[in-house]
Amino acid sequence: MNPNNKQRRQFLRKAGILASSVFFSDMLLSCTAKNDPTILLVSGWQDVNIGDIGHTPGLLNVLQTYMPEAKIILWKKSKGEEVGTLLKKHFPNVAIVYGSVDKDYNVENPEVQAAIETADLMIHGSGPSLVGADNLSCWIKSTQKPFGVFGTTLQNPSEYHAIILKKASFIYTRETFSIDHLKKAGIEGDHVQFAPDATFYMTIRNDDLGNKFLNEHGLEDKQFICAIPRLRYTPYHKFRPNNNGWSEAKITEVESVNALKKEEDHAKLREAMITYVRETGNKVLICPEMTYQVDIMDELLIDPLPEDVKPNVIKRGYWLPDEAASVYAKALAVLSFECHSPIIAAVNSTAFFYLRQPEDTIKGQMYYDLGFDDWIFEIENTQGSQITERLRGIWTDTNATQSYLTKNMDKVSEIYRKSVEEVKKVI
């Protein structure tokens, strides 16, 4: 069988199933808002990344803040018990259902089917792409009720994703670059807007665990910085079954680029760490955003340090986002190659630097969209001395730092408020 013909038949099958919903947009124009709507939120893509975990409590908080009258059912994709327990602890009134979608866009779990029948609206949560496309297809097949996307990167949407997105009542991209990508796919209009990653509203914390860790290691309030490493490409093939579906050529490329760039990148962060310790006498906490980073901390951020600096450096293992938030809240600043630890820091009124690697998709554009230009460093075009000098400004002028942070975070709240007001109109 010709692979191209097979792919074409698969696409046509998907298109045919979704085509029956073509009249949805006209129908939605006549909808009136309900006083007590039920929302089905699909989110929770993976549990090996505190940023991906943070999407879900962030959007739950957005909805509960600006639509408190709504009942929320979470259709959680990942099934980790620890994260499920975390969400139940912080959001006891949110029902959580689990269930996969088969090739014909049906669900086997009757709880999910009941949620689809009960809900007035389905929302696809924040993420790197339309990760829950099949979940949306199931919704489209099962009901004529509206759906939308909230705080998601939609870079180069596939034909399948474009078919779905053309039926959406609202599309909120987590950075403005995605809006241009959607236009190229023939998707535009007033219902397409920018709303940043929902992690910007992740307010859950675990101060008991956080303070315990801080006290055990002598980390005092605003007297330490956090540093988060990252390889250019996340090595998913090392911790996912079947090598993440990557070919041997893909794995070779990932490992080659990572090996080539890891020392060059992290030397720049170490320069800032060294200066901070020597000039202030304070400490540095090396911590992970993803599980695999626990294994690269020593090689990239600790072992190469001068001997006089090492005693001031502490590391910790993988954690959940509520504990990370409690620790970041006490830090002077969070310096991260990962995209979401800076967001968690900002939510907790802590300064951050995002050291952006070009392989880390277009999602980092959201920082520019919100006005955080001074705290984002394109690592290919950055010297360690530039990071160091900007960090020195953080610890020498805390008032200016807080003013800058507050001004831009106020934009986030206003965007979310306006976005939810528009969502209410389609229910």
Q: What percent of the chain has pLDDT over 90?
A: 89
pLDDT band at 215 (very low <50, low <70, confident <90, very high): very high
Please give the structure tokens belonging to residue 15. Answer: 């298109």
pLDDT band at 6 (very low <50, low <70, confident <90, very high): very low
Mean pLDDT of 355-361: 96
Q: What percent of the chain has pLDDT over 70?
A: 92
What pLDDT, in 10s, does the model give residues 126-139? 999 999 999 999 99
**Secondary structure E strands in 341-390:** 351-356, 376-378
The confidence score (pLDDT) of residue 244 equals 77
Which sign does the torsion angle of CA 396, 399, 403, 409 carry? positive
What pLDDT, in 10s, does the model give residues 191-203? 999 999 999 999 9
pLDDT at residue 24 is higher than 70: no
Whether residue 324 contacts residue 57, with contact meaning beta carbons closer than 8 Å, is answered with no
The confidence score (pLDDT) of residue 16 equals 46
What is the DSSP annotation of 11-78? HHHHHHHHHTTTTHHHHHTT----SS-EEEEEE---SSBHHHHHHHHHHHHHHHHH-TT-EEEEEES-
What pLDDT, in 10s, does the model give residues 381-410? 999 999 999 999 999 999 999 999 999 999
Which sign does the torsion angle of CA 408, 357, 291, 127 carry? positive
d(CA 233, CA 42): 26
Write down the residue that tokens 């230009």 correspond to. 373
pLDDT at residue 18 is higher than 80: no
Provide the pairing of β-strand 121-124 with 333-336.
unpaired
pLDDT at residue 28 is higher than 80: no
The confidence score (pLDDT) of residue 240 equals 82
In the chain, what are the domains?
31-202+412-425 (3.40.50.2000), 207-396 (3.40.50.2000)
Q: Mutual orientation of helices 321-330 and 50-66 as an angle, nearest 10°?
A: 90
pLDDT at residue 115 is higher than 90: yes
d(CA 73, CA 255): 40
**290 pairs with which residues across the strands?**
49
The confidence score (pLDDT) of residue 33 equals 56
The confidence score (pLDDT) of residue 339 equals 97
The confidence score (pLDDT) of residue 295 equals 96
d(CA 136, CA 147): 8
Nearest alpha-carbon partner for 293 in 337, 241, 247: 337
CA atoms within 13 A on the CB side of 392: 12
Mean pLDDT of 105-118: 96
pLDDT at residue 17 is higher than 80: no
pLDDT band at 22 (very low <50, low <70, confident <90, very high): very low
**173 pairs with which residues across the strands?**
152, 194
Nearest alpha-carbon partner for 288 in 298, 280, 278: 298
CA atoms within 13 A on the CB side of 160: 18
The confidence score (pLDDT) of residue 4 equals 45
**Average pLDDT across the chain, whole number:** 92
CA dihedral of 153, 156, 158, 161, whole degrees rounded to 10: 30
pLDDT at residue 119 is higher than 60: yes
